A and B are shown apart, each in its own frame.
Chain A
Amino acid sequence: MIVVGVERLVRFKLQSWNAFAPGLESHHAWREWLLHPSDLSSELGKTSLKQIPPMLRRRFTELGRCAAGAALPLLEGIDSIPGVFASRHGDTPLTLSLLEGIAEGEPMSPTGFSLAVHNALSGLLSIARKDVSEVTAIAATENLIPSALIEAVTQLQDQPRVLCVIYDLPLPELYKPYSDSTPFPCAVAMILSREEGDGFILQSDNGPSSDRDQSGDFMTLLRLLNGLESSVVFGSSLTRSRWRMSPE
């Protein structure tokens, strides 16, 4: 529900969540790592994705494997659920390889082209799961996580539950001077529900801005989900609006 006024605020219930990064695939592993952080690989490495038939699995790029790795365990036993798929930078390694091919005058791979669109991953999952529920793909320069959550909460008006998947990769070296990005592949999947789960509040925040960049927002969310913080603020000194999230 959205309360109109100076304070913008949404409430929702979180039925389940799962997160994925190199070597971190369980709630327990995440909690341990957040308490005792160490450097993670900037590449995802091997993933099984055993839920996806092999002929479709070959279409999942590193970004897709990361997001699917987070989402699929939550979807066991769920035949149909609408999804919000959010990534700030999208599949930049794939896009860059296509652009380099154009620069060299090579004909473009139809497969590569079809997978480079922002909603390709939601399409692949839809085919693999034979789930024709609506999907929404979001890219946001600022406030990716709050934007994805607000979209998912809004869809709860029509649906009893909504899948929300937020995922990004480190930018290729060529792009790094121009923008910040997550230091390692990371994906968080959440099922938001009208009825079931732990209550959360997401509201606009007017407090002093932090001096960090947005690349920390994934860890901010995960610290909250793991119960290591009672309230967190997304965004950076550069973002124009900031959002606070806390348990209800």
Chain B
Amino acid sequence: MSNLQLEIKQMIIETLDLEDISPGEIIDDEPLFVDGLGLDSIDALEIGLALQKRYGIKLKADSEDTREHFSSVNALATLIESQRVS
């Protein structure tokens, strides 16, 4: 687990009140929503807000890209890294 992946998992646990879950239980490449971790649409909005607060990333709620960025911890890490470079 890289530092960024760990940071994202801690952000998810903190902002979504997932007190019973440890970072190790969130798998880097598994779905965050519905099937995998089991997050829902309100959680997606909350993660969007957290990305904006911490990394200055603004996403469109209805775009297909956003769906892709939110698919897993790895996808979120790729998004954050790409924003850091540019």
| A residues lining the B interface (CB < 8 Å) | 54-55, 58-59, 107, 109-111, 114
Is B85 part of the binding interface, using a Cβ–Cβ cutoff of 8 Å?
Answer: no
Task: Decide if B46 touches A110 in the complex (CB within 8 Å).
Answer: yes
Task: Decide if B38 touches A55 in the complex (CB within 8 Å).
Answer: yes
* Residues of chain A within 8 A of B17, CB atoms compared: 58-59
Q: Residue B19 contacts which of A58, A59, A107, A114 (CB distance < 8 angstroms)?
A: A58
* Residues of chain A within 8 A of B46, CB atoms compared: 109-111
Q: A54-B20, A59-B17 are in contact. List 13 more A-B contacts (CB 8 A).
A: A55-B40, A58-B16, A58-B17, A109-B46, A109-B49, A110-B42, A110-B45, A110-B49, A111-B42, A111-B43, A111-B45, A111-B46, A114-B42
A110 to B43, CA, bound (A): 8
* Residues of chain B within 8 A of A114, CB atoms compared: 42
Task: Report A137 CB to chain B, min CB distance, Å.
Answer: 19
Task: Decide if B18 touches A107 in the complex (CB within 8 Å).
Answer: no
A172 to B58, CA, bound (A): 35
Is B84 part of the binding interface, using a Cβ–Cβ cutoff of 8 Å?
Answer: no
* Residues of chain A within 8 A of B43, CB atoms compared: 111
Residues 51-81 (chain B) with a chain A CB within 8 angstroms: 52-53
- Nearest residue (CB) in A for B20 is A54
Task: Decide if A107 touches B52 in the complex (CB within 8 Å).
Answer: yes
* Residues of chain B within 8 A of A59, CB atoms compared: 17
- B1-40 vs A, CB cutoff 8 Å, 1 = contact: the mask equals 0000000000000001111100000000000000000111
A59 to B16, CA, bound (A): 9
A55 to B20, CA, bound (A): 10
- Nearest residue (CB) in A for B38 is A55
A107 to B47, CA, bound (A): 13
* Residues of chain B within 8 A of A111, CB atoms compared: 16, 42-43, 45-46
Task: Report B44 CB to chain A, min CB distance, Å.
Answer: 9
* Residues of chain A within 8 A of B45, CB atoms compared: 110-111
* Residues of chain A within 8 A of B20, CB atoms compared: 54
A59 to B45, CA, bound (A): 15
* Residues of chain A within 8 A of B16, CB atoms compared: 58, 111
